[in-house]
Structures are given as C-alpha cells and as structure tokens.
Structure 1
Amino acid sequence: MTNWNADDAADDAAPSFGRRLIFRELPYLAVLALSIFGAAYTSFSGTPLRGYWIALGPIIGLVCILSQWRAAGDRKGRLRLIWTQILHWGAVLGAIELLSIADVSDMMSADATALSTLTILALGTFTAGIHIASWHVALVGIVLALTVPGIAWLEESALMMLLVAVAVIGLVAPFILHRMHRKQDA
C-alpha cells in the first residue's frame, strides 16, 4: 500500500504551481526585460532606439488589454478597454516622439534621451496599470521607474571604476616598469 500524505501532494504540486505562476507572470516579465534591455542598450551604445520604443509601447498596451480582457465583461467594456489603451499608448508614444524632434534631441545626449524615454515608458506603464486596475502592470511601471536611477548609477559607477582602474594602473605601472628595467640591467 502507498503511503500518501499532504506533504507529498504539496511537493508534487509545487513544480506545477511554479510553472503556472511563471507562465502567468511571463508577459509582465517580458515587458520588463524588453524595457530594461532597450534602456541599457541605448545608454551603453549611445544610439537611440526610436523604433524599438515605438514598437514596445503597443506591446505593453496589448499586455494591458489581454490582462483585463475577461474583466472587461461584455462587448462594450472590451471596446472601451481597447480604445482607452490605444489612446493612452498613443499619448505615451507621442511624448517619446517629442524627444526625437531635432531641436530636442540636439539638446540631449543619447544617455539622457534613453533615460527620459524609459521614464516616460515607466510613467505610461504605471498609469495604464492604475487605469485598468492591474497591480501587475502598475508594478512593472514602478520597477521601470526604479531602473532609471539604477542605470544612471551603473553608468556613473562604471566610470568611477574605470577611473579607479586607471589610477591604480598609473600608480603601479612605474613600479612594474622600474622592476622590469632593473631585471634587464642585471
């Protein structure tokens, strides 16, 4: 006879629950990963990814629509959901597009443009989450907002680490060169 208890059932259900949880959260994690990748790539490459951001807005809008499709209820509620998301993300993309205008983009570095774009995207995602009453989407917006100072800090710390490395090399190199020179003379 097989010994069965609740702990065994919980152990068997855990991988299934974990997979379901990851599958359910996958759209939000994907949006977050795509947003952070775009900001990081733009910051480090120095090349604005205007087309990338223009494509990402509707993807986030689609995630918003799909996440609330059942809650929207009837046809009227679903059409309202679709139109409000189209207008919302149109406004967000319009704000991002304003950063690409020649006069504005000439005033900002690629890093500033990337961080500004990510800030607008974070605000748009957060407000979309509030509007559709989805804490998942709002949380993605908050995390995106927190990545803005994180990326700025990372760039500054990378520069600081480079300066420290150059200083260490500058201090150590004369001693190494002096030592190598002494060995050659001996």
Structure 2
Amino acid sequence: MPVYAVICIIEGWRHFTTPEARWELVTVQALNWFALIVATYILYNAGVQGVLNTNASGLVMLTLLALGTFMAGLQARVWRICGLGAVLFLAVPAIGWLEQSIMLLVGATLVIIAIAGLTWWLGQRRDRALQT
C-alpha cells in the first residue's frame, strides 16, 4: 500500500500547481492509505480472523485495495489509477466465481484444447493434400 501511495502522489503531482494544493495531495493520500493499512491490520487481527474464513478474508482485502485505489485516483485526479481500482473491483466477483466453478473452467479448457488440436490436424491434412 505504501507503494500505491507513492505512485498516486507522483502521478497526481502535475495536476496540482500550488504548493498548498500539492501539500494537500500528499496529506490526503497519506491519510487515505494509512486508513487502509489500519483496516487491513484490523482484518488480520486474531479476533476478526475467527469470523472470516481464508477465502472471505482475501476477497475483503482485495475489495479494500480496490476501494483505496479508486478513491486515491479520484483524489489525485488520475484516471489510470481509477481504472486500476475499477479492474480490481471487477476481479473480486470474478475470483469468487472462479472458486465456485472450477469444473466449468476445466471443461472449457479441455474444449479449447480439443478445438485447437482439431484445427491443427485439419491444417496438416490440408497442407498434405496441397502438396500432392
């Protein structure tokens, strides 16, 4: 999270021209990321770990990181950081869906491999027919 904070400050620096505005950017980013670090610490606390299982805890952490990234991008006026936060938000339900449907993914992978193999085999057959 400190790395994200530094990146947000560096990227947002050019959007703020006065020393007061830049100081406000640094302060807001530092407070934003410090709050997320504290929230992460609380979630890793032994009392909370007894309530959340490992999968839920990971998804909550990713959601916190996504929220912090999106809000930091808004505060720094950097659309790319907001976009990264949005992608992280979309990753949360995607990870939850992937964990529940591993058999579907295995089946889809096998179908893709079969289609690729059939395409390769037909291409080889066509090349042999053209050579004769």
The normalised TM-score by structure 2 is 0.74
- Show the counterpart of 1:129: 73
- Show the counterpart of 2:6: 62
CA RMSD, 1 decimal: 1.9
| Mapping 1:111-130, distance limit 5 Å | 111-130=55-74
- Show the counterpart of 2:17: 73
Gaps of 5+ in 2: 108-132
Q: Deviation of residue 161 (structure 1)?
A: 4.8
Q: Deviation of residue 150 (structure 1)?
A: 0.7
Q: Secondary structure at the match of 2:3?
A: helix
Aligned residues: 107
| Mapping 1:83-122, distance limit 5 Å | 83-122=27-66
Which amino acid counterpart does residue 101 of structure 1 have in structure 2? Answer: N
The normalised TM-score by structure 1 is 0.53
| Mapping 1:147-162, distance limit 5 Å | 147-158=91-102, 160-161=103-104
Which of 90, 100, 115 is the aligned partner of 1:146? 90
Deviation track 1:135-169 (CA, whole Å, cap 9, x = no partner) reads 111111111000001111111111x35998xxxxx
* Structure (1 or 2) with the larger CA radius of gyration: 1
Deviation track 1:17-41 (CA, whole Å, cap 9, x = no partner) reads xxxxxxxxxxxxxxxxxxxxxxxxx
Which amino acid counterpart does residue 104 of structure 1 have in structure 2? Answer: V
Give me the whole-angstrom Cα distance separating, in 2, the residues matched to 1:88 and 1:162: 37
Give me the whole-angstrom Cα distance separating, in 2, the residues matched to 1:162 and 1:91: 37
Residue identity over aligned pairs, in percent, reads 38
Do the aligned residues in 1 keep the contact of 2:15 with 2:76 (CA within 8 Å)?
no
Gaps of 5+ in 1: 1-56, 165-186
Which amino acid counterpart does residue 81 of structure 2 have in structure 1? Answer: V
Q: Deviation of residue 62 (structure 1)?
A: 1.0
Give me the whole-angstrom Cα distance separating, in 1, the residues matched to 2:73 and 2:59: 21
